[in-house]
Chain A
């Protein structure tokens, strides 16, 4: 293996380059990124960066040490095609990159609504800069979607003194990841912080000619809006793989070692639908830690080794900071799991454990990092590793 091409230059792609070097890959690494700039950290985009308390320099992911990685960068261009018979990645610039192995790390893009001025999604640094400018002119904000991004944006908008309404089509926000009961508990943060939450009503359409001025709901209500933020999930960037032979089912299908059905082609991060040893099913995770950890497993796979971290990394983990509270979640919840608050109280700080039968399968905490850590460790230990 002399050349590895990594497609996608965000956390997962950069982590893949670092992991390959850490595992002593001495060949050529080409890193293709759609954005013009070098990789940056996305979680602050909905929080400190949006609030204006941190800068683009602060959230840069690359450090001086990364020069030693000797990466051959291709920034500002996208992969248009993967030719598995000719072993080449074809860029939109027309360049053919002949390569021995490919790391697919193309991530996901924000799902959106028809374009209208002052309607935003939040995924990239440019998105965050534009939204920050819109927030600076004040007024009313309507956030469509009460998922984690929506909740964090609403929280930040509130700290900036804006009038905020959150609209969620589902009866209970976050019911997918957290279940109905804890979804309701977390959604209560909106009202407690002066943000109106409307649930169970889909958006019919955005009103306004050139610029948005209201959001019309399916029940006929119209919410005045100077700014609208659409937080209705993300779509994996996998269209470029059409015709390549790489199996795609929503995301790029991989085993628990990030291997696709094509030899020497691995997939990591938001674009990968990977078999998860903890969940015992295929899941596509959009968690920051997954984008950090999967590349270490994938690099080992390409180098023909087993990753010593695989068992620990199999337990999914994410956090969300909203309204001054820190939510942490580890594990994999399914419908039918029982949830119980085991420490604290649901209306303040707490630890809630999800069980399937007698077995703990996931843990959620709000402002209880220490107790959460113990439960998370237990989940990992039950995976068979002690590190």
Chain B
């Protein structure tokens, strides 16, 4: 499991980026629910943690591709390839990500 941060450090409507070798992961807080997806947009190199959150959708800050945080599915162009989703575990006040291989 990859440690992310203390519970409460990701404010609602924001995200945290976790360095994870060459596959960084973004963890989002949507109304108290945590979602983890690959941080790098599948269209071109950009960090989704820096994107715009709209409900369970994140919009890439570079070319506005949209992804559903729950499924990783692209929901707006130009991206057509899904991002990987990962499980989020909260244990003893800390947030961890279980990487989906």
Q: Which residues of A pack against B, CB within 8 Å?
A: 11, 41, 43, 61, 63, 288-289, 292-293, 309, 312, 319, 328, 369-370, 373, 376, 386-387
Contacts and interface: CB of A to CB of B under 8 A. Distances in A.
Contacts of B80: 63
B90 interface: no
A319 B62 contact: yes
B32 to A, nearest CB: 17
A63 B61 CA distance: 22
Interface in B53-98: 53-54, 61-64, 74, 76-78, 80
Given A292-B64, A373-B61, A11 B77 contact: yes
Given A41-B77, A41-B78, A387-B54, A288 B47 contact: no
Given A312-B52, A370-B47, A292 B77 contact: yes
B46 interface: yes
Nearest to A317: B64
A319 B61 CA distance: 11
Contacts of B53: 387
A162 B46 CA distance: 30
Given A387-B52, A387-B54, A292 B62 contact: no
Given A43-B63, A369-B62, 4 more contacts: A61-B78, A63-B80, A292-B77, A319-B62
A63 B78 CA distance: 10
22 contacts: A11-B77, A41-B77, A41-B78, A43-B63, A43-B78, A61-B77, A288-B64, A289-B64, A293-B64, A309-B54, A312-B52, A319-B63, A328-B62, A369-B47, A369-B50, A370-B47, A373-B61, A376-B61, A386-B13, A387-B13, A387-B52, A387-B53
B67 to A, nearest CB: 13
Interface residues of B, number: 16
Nearest to A58: B80
A288 B63 contact: yes
Contacts of B78: 41, 43, 61
Across chains A and B, which 7 residue pairs bring their CB atoms closest together, nearest first?
A373-B50, A373-B61, A41-B78, A289-B64, A61-B77, A292-B64, A387-B54
B46 A369 contact: yes
Contacts of B63: 43, 288-289, 319
A292 B13 CA distance: 23
B94 to A, nearest CB: 25
B40 to A, nearest CB: 12
A264 B80 CA distance: 32
Contacts of B61: 369, 373, 376
Interface in B17-60: 46-47, 50, 52-54
Contact of B76 (A288, A292, A312, A319): A292
Contacts of A293: 64
Nearest to A370: B50
Contacts of B13: 386-387
A289 B59 CA distance: 12
A289 B62 CA distance: 10
Contacts of A292: 64, 76-77
A386 B14 CA distance: 11
A293 B47 CA distance: 21
A373 B59 CA distance: 12
A376 B50 CA distance: 11
A387 B54 CA distance: 7
A376 B53 CA distance: 15
A309 B55 CA distance: 12
Contacts of B54: 309, 387
A165 to B, nearest CB: 29
A174 to B, nearest CB: 20
A46 B6 CA distance: 45
A295 B77 CA distance: 14
Contacts of B50: 369-370, 373
Nearest to A63: B80
Contacts of A43: 63, 78
- Which one of B13, B47, B52, B77 has the highest number of Cβ atoms from chain A below 10 Å of its Cβ? B77
A61 B76 CA distance: 10
A328 B64 CA distance: 13
Nearest to B50: A373
A62 to B, nearest CB: 9
Contacts of B47: 369-370
B76 to A, nearest CB: 7
B6 to A, nearest CB: 23
A283 to B, nearest CB: 19
